[in-house]
A and B are shown apart, each in its own frame.
Chain A
Amino acid sequence: MQEFDVCIVGSGAAGGTMAKELCEGGAKVILLEAGVEVHPSQLLSHKWPYELPYRGLRAEKQAPFYPKDISAVWYKNSDKVGVDRVRVLGGRTMHWNAVCLRYAPQDFRERSLHGIEEDWPLSYEDLAPYYDRIEQIIGVCGLDDHLEILPAGRHYMPPIPWRCSEHILQRTTRKMGIPLIAVRKALNTRPYDGRPPCHYCGHCMDGCDVSAIFSSPDCMLPKARATGNFTLRQNAVAREILADREGRARAVSFVDRRTKQEEQVKAKIIVVCCATVESARLLLNSRSPQHPAGVGNSSGVVGRYLHGHLGVGLNVYLKELEGVKPFNQDGATDSVYIPRYNQLFGKSDYAGGWGIQMNFASYMFPHAALDLPGYGPSFKERVRKMQPGFLFFGSFGKVLARPENYVSVDRARVDDYGIPIPVVHFRFGENDRALTRAMEQSMLEIGSRLKGTVFPHFGAGPGGFASHEVGTIRMGNNPKTSALNGFCQSHDVKNLFVTDGSCFTTTSEKNPTLTIMALSMRAADYIKRKRKIGEL
């Protein structure tokens, strides 16, 4: 059996970055991906609703990203959360809005600054050079707004022009002392890295058919492939990581979805990048006499501290834009962003904060028609006239990392390949509820100050995770309370790394993908250094 220097499991933001970096560093890399490539020609992004069997109301556009045979998950005694597991080549980079926000220095120090959770085993300063590098590679548009809560990069492409509704919003937020900035997205506003600029169709979340948005298959994997050091194996569903007698990782066993055959790939180093739920599942399924609780899990931490983002939505229909002649406002979905601001208004009785993404929805469907009372000619006319003033608020709030929220595996429940599926156990805590109430109240206040009609879409309680789940294989300095060190290396198994969102010690209100890529790049540098001196 051929032995590779490195076997990476998972091809999304973390796995793609790792593959590119290590291949360029001279390592022979094999990447295992459970899904397959979704070619741009297969995307349904530009289809009209009436061209789809169920008008898109049954997620037909997203169906290619969620193959049923490898998507099973069991929510056991769980609150209203969803774990997003895009199972195709490129993972969630194929189905994302591309918002790229750096964590702030304080986001790494929750214990030191606020007495909650844990500090990360690394600082913003440790990660800043990698934020710089990754932003340059993927291409990010935006501006440096000189905000302490949201550090900026140095290499941004021009920002996306603002819509009229967003100019109107700024008049209000300015009076309230709330910042409103150009969104930062991994989206080309000019040709970049051999990829064309955005054509502003407003379908970012349905998959970008021209690669104007960053994705791992369009940006990272070609660079890895160009080195001649890269081997890609699709349809490879990882079953477990196999250990040698000393407990070191020696191989990954997997099932080929097409042949249903069991295979193994041997490697000196194994890097797990399957995302928060799948990575925990893989480690927990990797039991051996050397690792009876799962590989890298002598602490019992693997699977625990599952958390993510709270999500709350609110629609406003601005009076000032009511009845104007319809014009194309879709753009690149978001144009602006409201960074966290609750810390500007004194101490609160809960920990954490939220940021608000604006208008990440198309103007094609008049959501007001589902909210407005009545029917008949006046109803129809009102819907039509209100639609140009649509302004959508989608906020993401911090959820606390708590050990009682966890992912496990159940040997009695297996997928089509006989692999135990993940089981999610999650309950929101009091801080999550308090933050949700504050977030809703604040959004209502902004909405009420805008001249228009407000439709809050609040649930009876908190809901998550907005595809931003993290934390199940967390980093830390103490091997008894964490699974990984600051370089995403297993405390127990030195040739095992985990570099996706599961390695986060805590979350902030910011979208995690940019930080995932920066951490993966930093871990790749560490691996390259250690390989060079023969320690890996």
Chain B
Amino acid sequence: MKRRTALKIVGLGAIVPAEWAAVAQDQALAWSPKDYQLRFFTKDENLLLDKLTEMIIPADQHSSGAHAAKVSLFADLMVATSNDAVKTEWRNGLRLMQEVAARSSIEAALAKAAEHEGSPQTGLERFFKTLKEMTVNGYYTSAIGIHQDLQYQGNTYLASFPGCTMPNIAKED
């Protein structure tokens, strides 16, 4: 925690109920991709991660992909605030990916990592599961994932809920 953040929380202590301290702390950690500074990954690691996440969820004609959604920065925040085991998994996983890519290409490395997705055997294959889960979580909780890609229509105030509006389905009952 940054010192300034800690002071802010201590300062609020007198007026904020105890149970809000944790939330206040989390809010203080909130980040904006615009000014986000890497906390865990190196610049090279972030570059590699950015490419990998974009390959997992790429831009297409319908919507932008993981790069535009800044999924690698989301991953950095999540890993930076996790325990040492998680940090080690990511550092080693990206190193493995880089090693395989150096011998072939990044495309081949990702394909190799994803080869046995259902039952991963190697460290590289196990890392793919972690990488993909982070990419999915980061992308589909971003504004791009929710609004542009899925075109999610909820989280709003409705005067009434119409239920099924597809007459060919509703009428069969």
Contacts and interface: CB of A to CB of B under 8 A. Distances in A.
B151 A35 contact: no
Interface of B, secondary structure class, is: loop
A491 to B, nearest CB: 36
A369 B132 CA distance: 9
A170 interface: yes
A369 B173 CA distance: 31
Contacts of A387: 150
Nearest to B129: A370
Interface string A69-88: 10000000000000000011
A126 to B, nearest CB: 37
B31 A53 contact: yes
B161 A64 contact: no
Given A67-B18, A167-B164, A171-B172, A375 B110 contact: yes
Given A36-B19, A50-B141, A162 B164 contact: yes
Nearest to A329: B154
B155 to A, nearest CB: 6
Nearest to A159: B163
A50 B142 contact: yes
B163 A335 contact: yes
A410 B142 CA distance: 45
Interface in A314-358: 320, 324-332, 335
B7 interface: no
Interface string B143-173: 1001001111111111111111110011011
A363 B57 CA distance: 19
A363 B141 contact: no
B154 A161 contact: no
B35 interface: no
Interface in B102-135: 110, 114, 117-118, 132-133
Contact of A379 (B56, B165, B169): B56
Given A63-B23, A320-B169, A384-B62, A327 B153 contact: yes
B31 to A, nearest CB: 7
A201 B18 contact: no
Contacts of A87: 19
Interface string A41-58: 010001011101111111
B27 interface: yes
Contacts of B9: none
A68 B26 contact: no
B146 A49 contact: yes
B77 interface: yes
A494 to B, nearest CB: 36
B133 A328 contact: no
A57 B26 contact: no
B48 to A, nearest CB: 16
Given A55-B74, A164-B164, A369-B140, A202 B57 contact: no
A211 B20 CA distance: 21
Contact of B154 (A58, A63, A362): A362
A167 B153 contact: no
Interface of A: 35-36, 42, 46, 48-50, 52-58, 60, 63-64, 66-69, 87-88, 160-164, 166-168, 170-171, 198-203, 257, 320, 324-332, 335, 362-366, 369-370, 373-377, 379-381, 384, 387
10 pairs of A and B residues whose beta carbons are closest in the complex? A161-B163, A67-B19, A49-B141, A330-B154, A55-B141, A164-B164, A328-B153, A200-B161, A375-B56, A199-B157
23 contacts: A36-B19, A49-B141, A49-B142, A53-B26, A53-B31, A54-B26, A55-B138, A55-B142, A63-B23, A67-B17, A163-B163, A163-B164, A164-B164, A171-B173, A199-B157, A200-B161, A328-B153, A328-B158, A329-B154, A331-B161, A365-B140, A375-B55, A375-B114
